[in-house]
Amino acid sequence: MLTKEAQKTVLSDEAYKDLEEAVGPENVSREPGVLDGYAWQPMINDDPAKWVRRPVAVVLPASTEEVQAVVKACNEHGLKFKAFATGWGIYGAPTYDNVVQIDLRRMNNIVEIDDKNMYAVVQPYVSGAQLQAEAMKVGLNTHIIGAGPVCSPLSSATSGWGVGWDGISMGYSPRNVLGLEWVLPDGEVLRLGALGSEKGWFSGDGPGPSLRGLVRGSSGALGGLGVFTRGALKLYNWPGPPQVKIEGTLLDAKAEVPEHIRFHLCFFPDKKKLADATYKIGEAELGYLACKVSVSSFIYTFAPHLLQKITRTKELRRVLNEALRWTYVIMLVGNSEEEIEYQEATLEKILADYDGMSMEQMTAPAIGPMVFMNFFRVTAIPMVFRMGGLFCSFLPRNETWDTQIDFYEMGERVKKPYIEKGKILDDLNDNPFMVMYEYNTYAHAEIIFQYLARSKEQLASVEPMQIEAMIESVEMCQDQLSDCDARQRKIFSPLAGHYNRWQKRISEMFDAKRAADTGMYCDEEDYDYSKVSPELKAKLDRLMAERSWTEDGPPA
Amino acid sequence: MALKDYERDMEGCSRCSSCKWVPFNQIKSWRFAKNCPSICKYNFHAYSGSGRMIIGLSMLQGRSELNDEVTEIIFKCQMCGACDTACKVYRDDIDISEVLLELRAHCIEQGQLIVEHMAMIDALKREDNVLGEPKDKRGEWAEGLAVKDINTEQCDVIFHAGCRYSYDPDLRDTVRGQVQLLLKAGVDVGIAGKEESCCGGRAYELGYRGEAQNYAEDLLSRVKASGATTLVTPCADGYAHFRYLYPRMGVELPCEIMHVTQYMEKLLHEGKLRFKEEVPLLVTYHDPCHLGRMGEPFLTDWKEDKLQRPMSLKRSGRKGIFDAPRNIIRSIPGMELTEMERIREYSWCCGAGGGVLEAYPDFAAWTAQERIEEALATGAEALVTACPWCERVFNDAVAETGAAISVYDLNDLALKAAGLLEPVEA
């Protein structure tokens, strides 16, 4: 007996025929089993069922022209469309019932690497690992986001966030865009940056239209503004070898760590000293990669069974929680022995000034060869599922490092009772992922929580915990991941200048027929507050009354 | 087992797509970064390890039905294990390969059959081999060899030739040479001749489990009767099935199981085999899936929460046979080995497995051609492998495209180095 989902009306034959003409019959499907491959998105999904709306069809275009033809067909038949690249996470998923999923998998070429001008032109399905491997051959490197090297650099640059451990030296994904080819929601093509004047890809801001701010806003339109089919992304210096010699795959990996690379795990006695020291590190322009992660995150990634034992050992838990709370990792990469010596000496001075200490890992024979690629290519990321099968985060907007540390503490306060009641997994309640951008001019934080992917009780905890963190965020004047969730957007927009009104106007301007799926861009929905306590709801109401913008401007 | 028994594996998929890629630490280029022939050829997510698990979950939950299109998706897969190995670099709690096997068995139970596979199974039932060749000709390859008949004599080593080596005329010299080499080294070796049967592994992979069980039990009785302490096979498929599927089915052969390359390496080590002839050739080695990652021994059927499964008990693919063939290559005077990018447990498949060669020959050829291109990129003069199925599709692909590379069975090169075959022309 098929469920209601399986019995839903399928795509009309006429629309299907037009899609076939757009991409070829072998590259379109409306088979329910195939479509469900696009309807299963457990990541950042607070629905315990983990299924999302099933698209009415999926298409596999191979060129910008084919993307245009698909988008025009959607406009003509009153369908919506949603594109994704590598397709991990709920962001790429349809949010309406009549959505054609555009899987950009066949647009997978590195069009060009210009080593002289330090950029690469890529299509959407080029992964971070592929681009890095090719860039290294010409002495360059690419920004790889925290979700790992499986993700699409073009997608994160154009459509959603773009946080990575290398942010200290390589910035935030949208900062690296040097030109875009953009299929608008009506099917027309717009070329941005120097490309808009047919002058190549060297500049994102012209000659030619820029529109980088409009394309991205703060966090990206998440597929709600069309499809980005090619982009030029800035590359960065890589003074190491064209290829790292490595045996093994991950935990068994033995990499030949290149010269002039050091990796320090730093410890500080308290929050203030960590914060002040990291500002100094930024001022000194130190660091190729840098982030704050906890000792617990190392343990649950590489030895989750060990963490289970530690959580049951009161004294050891206390040592890790208290003595090793204010940790920070930094990878230094030098162009020469002299430079790496200078960098290490500078780091040592900063550590000494702020009562910090560090352990150098790259030269540690047991660890260095294994962890080098983990950080350099962010390769261990899928291992974080080993603890329970899924994780999620409280994510605020990019802000100052100090503010993010406050957010980290708030997140741990929210998590604590859930851990104590067994509603999420015990990660020592110390599980931040925090990176800084561009030598600490701004920063990103995520407060991660781990849960059992197959436990109904733990799955049911995700949404109420997210609401609670959101209310606490409001109190801190911090906006939490509002661009993904239509419910959060409705709450945060009035608190931040009614920004979503502008997003809606942009959407209407480019998308007269409402063909793009804007569920994760500018649509709004009500939260179900029955999952939080009346006290928390009252707190939110009070904060909203006090802090919402009026028609005349900011609150008094 | 039934599909329902793997629901927790399927619902554990985070859809990270790691199953589509070479383990990230080992990605060396844009061109050879992907690991799964099926998703690379057909592109819809359903054609990946993750996608097939989601299809299984969808069917279990009544969201979609098993029909002809879904059946095709399930069978357009070489069962090469690359997705499983890649997933397990990161995860402990998902066994994609087991889910894929279960999906196929589910198809057969539901009467969703692939015509070409039915023909193969009919032939297997009739002639005891997957090629449909006459059973009474199975032992012809050994005519004239002074090798024992295990049907009437006891021996120390059983040599199980396998279906393709027994019947493929292009491979006959290879398999004869292997036995000659063993005999020359003084090994007390016997064969079953025309009584030898298919290992049954291919039937199992196609979802016909009853047939596979019968063949496993048949071989078990034959091994017991022979008194052999070792079973040596040149067939990579057979090797994997003896080592993994048989114990999984509850059949433990009472002897050591060795691939012929392992046995040859042992003979070299013991000084019973020496390579004296120069074979001046720059070669690259293709790891057959069933000798490599799928050749790992069966460890356990873990019934508890797989999140709690020790890493040592998960099928990582790392315990397959990777070094013995390479050591043989390195032992051959004049031979030089250059590696492709995708090797060992993250090797690209040849394309022949899982019933793809029989049902979807174009897909098999496309997959083989991808590997030929990777081999050409190394600059090697020859692509060497240690599996008759790989050798068959590679030879066909080279013949089809005229690629400037030779394909060799490693055994042939060893025979030449041992002076049992004509010298190789570079």
Contact B16 A129 (CB under 8 A): no
Site of tokens 């508890």: B304
Give the dihedral sign, CA A416/A419/A420/A423: positive
Per-residue pLDDT at A17 exceeds 90: yes
Amino acid at A367: I
Instruction: State the best of B15, B17, B362, B363 to mutate against chain A, taking most chain A CBs within 10 Å.
Output: B15
Contact B21 A127 (CB under 8 A): yes
Q: Which residues in chain A have their CB less than 8 angstroms from residue B46's CB?
A: 31, 33-34, 37
Predicted pLDDT of residue A5: 59
Q: Which residues in chain B have their CB less than 8 angstroms from residue A60's CB?
A: 43-44
Predicted pLDDT of residue A251: 87
Predicted pLDDT of residue A516: 98
The lowest-confidence range among A126-130, A212-216, B267-271, B360-364 is A212-216
pLDDT (tens place) for every residue of chain B, 426 residues total = 799 999 999 999 999 999 999 999 999 999 999 999 999 999 999 999 999 999 999 999 999 999 999 999 999 999 999 999 999 999 999 999 999 999 999 999 999 999 999 999 999 999 999 999 999 999 999 999 999 999 999 999 999 999 999 999 999 999 999 999 999 999 999 999 999 999 999 999 999 999 899 999 999 999 999 999 999 999 999 999 999 999 999 999 999 999 999 999 999 999 999 999 999 999 999 999 999 999 999 998 899 999 999 999 999 999 999 999 999 999 999 999 999 999 999 999 999 999 999 999 999 999 999 999 999 999 999 999 999 999 999 999 999 999 999 999 999 999 999 988 655 444
3-class SS of residue A135: helix
A1 interfaces chain B, CB cutoff of 8 Å: yes
CATH 3.40.50.10700 domain position(s) in chain B: 274-287+322-426
B362 interfaces chain A, CB cutoff of 8 Å: no
Report pLDDT digits (tens) over A317-370. 988 888 889 999 999 999 999 999 999 999 999 999 999 999 988 777 777 788
Which whole number is the average pLDDT over A239-245? Answer: 96
Confidence band of A196 (pLDDT split at 50, 70, 90): confident
Confidence band of A206 (pLDDT split at 50, 70, 90): confident
Which whole number is the average pLDDT over A182-198? Answer: 92
Confidence band of A7 (pLDDT split at 50, 70, 90): low
Contact A6 B8 (CB under 8 A): no
Q: Which residues in chain A have their CB less than 8 angstroms from residue B35's CB?
A: none
Return the axis-axis angle of helices B115-127 and B209-226, rounded to nearest 10°: 30
The lowest-confidence range among A244-253, A329-338, A446-455, B338-347 is A244-253
Per-residue pLDDT at A1 exceeds 60: no
pTM of the model: 0.96
**Domain A5-106 CATH assignment equals 3.40.120.10:** no
Furthest CA-CA distance within chain A: 71
**Domain A249-454 CATH assignment equals 3.40.462.40:** yes
Q: Which residues in chain B have their CB less than 8 angstroms from residue A54's CB?
A: 63
Predicted pLDDT of residue B425: 46
Per-residue pLDDT at A482 exceeds 70: no
CATH topology match: A5-106 vs A110-237: no
Instruction: State the best of A52, A105, A385 to mutate against chain B, taking most chain B CBs within 10 Å.
Output: A385
- Residue A222 gets the label, from left (phi > 0), alpha (psi -120 to 50) or beta, of left
Contact A37 B55 (CB under 8 A): yes
Class assignment of domain B127-270? Answer: alpha beta
Predicted pLDDT of residue A4: 59
List the single residue in B12, B73, B307 with the smallest CB-CB distance to A33: B73
List the single residue in B14, B33, B310 with the smallest CB-CB distance to A42: B14
Contact B46 A34 (CB under 8 A): yes
Strands B406-409 and B382-385: parallel
Structural contact between residues A92 and A174, judged by C-beta atoms closer than 8 angstroms: no
Chain A, window 454-513: residues with a beta carbon less than 8 angstroms from a chain B beta carbon = 454
Contact B13 A42 (CB under 8 A): yes
Alpha helices in A393-440 (DSSP H): 401-420
Question: What share of chain A in percent tops pLDDT 70?
Answer: 98
Q: How far is CA A522 from CA A28, A82, A95, A516, in A?
A: 28, 14, 12, 11
Site of tokens 């939110």: A540
Predicted pLDDT of residue A488: 87
Q: Give the CATH fold of the A110-237 domain.
A: 3.30.465
Predicted pLDDT of residue A197: 82
Per-residue pLDDT at A528 exceeds 90: no
Confidence band of A396 (pLDDT split at 50, 70, 90): confident
Strands A227-234 and A177-183: antiparallel
CA–CA min distance A373, chain B (Å): 6
Structural contact between residues A92 and A158, judged by C-beta atoms closer than 8 angstroms: no
List the single residue in A37, A134, A305 with the smallest CB-CB distance to B46: A37
The lowest-confidence range among A184-188, A204-208, A227-231, A379-383 is A204-208
Residue spans of the domains in chain A: they are: 5-106, 110-237, 249-454, 486-547
Predicted pLDDT of residue A481: 56
Q: Which residues in chain A have their CB less than 8 angstroms from residue B32's CB?
A: none
d(CA A154, CA A143): 11
Structural contact between residues B243 and B201, judged by C-beta atoms closer than 8 angstroms: no
Structural contact between residues B171 and B164, judged by C-beta atoms closer than 8 angstroms: yes
Contact A127 B33 (CB under 8 A): yes
Which whole number is the average pLDDT over A415-430? Answer: 96
Confidence band of A492 (pLDDT split at 50, 70, 90): confident
Per-residue pLDDT at A483 exceeds 90: no
Tokens representing A374?
């983990």
ipTM for the predicted complex comes to: 0.96
Contact B44 A390 (CB under 8 A): no
Predicted pLDDT of residue B294: 97
Report pLDDT digits (tens) over A279-299. 999 999 999 999 998 889 999
Q: Which residues in chain A have their CB less than 8 angstroms from residue B314's CB?
A: none
d(CA A510, CA A213): 15
Among the listed residues A375, A227, A222, A356, the one whose alpha carbon sits nearest the alpha carbon of residue A293: A375
- Give the Cβ contact number of residue A553 at 10 Å: 8
Pick the CATH number of B274-287+322-426 from 3.40.50.10700, 3.40.630.10, 2.60.120.10, 3.40.50.150: 3.40.50.10700
